[in-house]
Amino acid sequence: MPWYQDLSKEIGWILAIFFISFIAIVPGFMNAFVISSLLVDDRPEILKEQQYPAITILIAAYNEANDIATTLRSIFVQDYPGIVHIIAINDGSRDGTADAIRGLMANHPNLQLIDLDKNVGKSGALNRGLQQCTTDILITIDADSYLWKDALRNLVGRYLSDPPNTRAVAGEVLIRNSRENWITKAQEWDYFLGIASVKRIQSLFQGTLVAQGAFSLYDRKAVEELGGWPNKIGEDIVLTWKILLAGYRVGHAENAVAFTNCPNTLMGFINQRRRWSRGLIESFKENGSILFKSRLTVIYVWWNTLFPIIDIAYTFGFLPGLILACFGLFWIVGPMTIALIPMAFILNMVMYNRGKAMFASENLKIRKNYFGFIFYILAYGLVLQPACVWGYLSEIFNLKKNWGTK
């Protein structure tokens, strides 16, 4: 085709095939697959009549004095009909996190504090909490997250209604601080449209690939059987893949809503997405044999192998091509890439309508955020995908690991 012929004259046929395939053709097919999957998704509703068992909530907190009390209060007012135990692990905080937790313990005997003298990392803190857990079901919540009123009921209800081989269920995590600046406004749409829809589709194919630590349910015995949370940058994704590799299923409860604080600085956002991408490579290194399991889940595991390639093509092909286009050189970015816009528009409309329906069922309202949406559609990838490539390379070359947060 003309695009390939023109580009191959400038950079050679191998690079031309690579960039055209992973900038346009492969993403186009992936978008079409997502659209068709969302349109046919018709999962059974949560069973109405069931016994809700006792649960334990683990909260690993490091320097969360400003948010931990609000997070705990959102748990106290849940409409969950069963017994709720809460174990808050203060992971060697240097602020008043432990004091904030102690201040609520007198009026809430179901709240327990594990106060660690030194920071052991999120996985270490969760594993200390796991040692104290006695219920069959445990739930992890980030210390800066806020649960919607029926989040626990819906999360446990989905677990009880899903197939019997389910061992984890990811909740729906959305943005709490989306009004702070342009960075948080753009991330609001990423969580609402992209991340939520991907998890829903993965669940449709019998295996959500990340039961995120911000709000997810786990079968305690399965977690213990697999050795607890691994000491990894992406401890949640590595554990999830271990669950899938063991032959179990991981579900998704789109109406179990938690609102969490996202990074509000550019460098904070880059560090977060670099960490997530590094966790993906960690998962492949730890659980690579999952690629050869004969089950529907593997479709999306193989799908994930394409993301690093697409991100590399975008970073080293599309972005330079965008600069060249500003000078009238349309070798990579031109009419053919613009032709992909209608597909992207349809995809976002389908994802938006799915999210809107869920919000209506939970009596939530979608806030107006036009600037964030425009930036998300037109420029979000300019920051996101180079950050992801940085994360992939950091793990491949075994660079020093750090959270890059507090």
CA angle (247, 250, 253) in 5-degree steps: 165
Structural domains of the chain, with CATH: 2-40+296-396 (no CATH), 55-292 (3.90.550.10)
Give the Cβ contact number of residue 23 at 10 Å: 21
For the purposes of burial, counting CB atoms within 10 Å of the CB of 247, is it exposed (0-12), middle (13-18) or buried (19 or more)?
Answer: exposed
Q: What's the order of all strands across the beta sheet hosting 166-175?
A: 111-116, 84-91, 55-61, 137-141, 215-219, 166-175, 249-260, 145-147
Residue type at 198 in one-letter notation: V
Find the Cα–Cα–Cα–Cα dihedral 346, 356, 384, 258, rounded to 10°: -160
Name which of 249, 275, 224, 248 is nearest 399 in CA terms.
275
Task: Give, for all 406 residues of the chain, the pLDDT tens digit.
Answer: 677 777 888 889 899 999 989 988 898 888 888 888 888 776 777 877 789 999 999 999 999 999 999 999 999 999 999 999 999 999 999 999 999 999 999 999 999 999 999 999 999 999 999 999 999 999 999 999 999 999 999 999 999 999 999 999 999 999 999 999 999 999 999 999 889 888 888 877 767 889 999 999 999 999 999 999 999 999 999 999 999 999 999 999 999 999 999 999 999 999 999 999 999 999 999 998 988 877 666 777 888 889 999 999 999 999 998 888 888 888 787 766 776 778 778 888 888 998 999 999 999 999 889 999 999 988 999 999 999 999 999 999 988 876 555 5
Tell me, what's the pLDDT at 406? 55
Cα distance between residue 168 and residue 33, in whole Å? 25
Residue type at 361 in one-letter notation: S
Tell me, what's the pLDDT at 354? 87
Tell me, what's the pLDDT at 296? 60
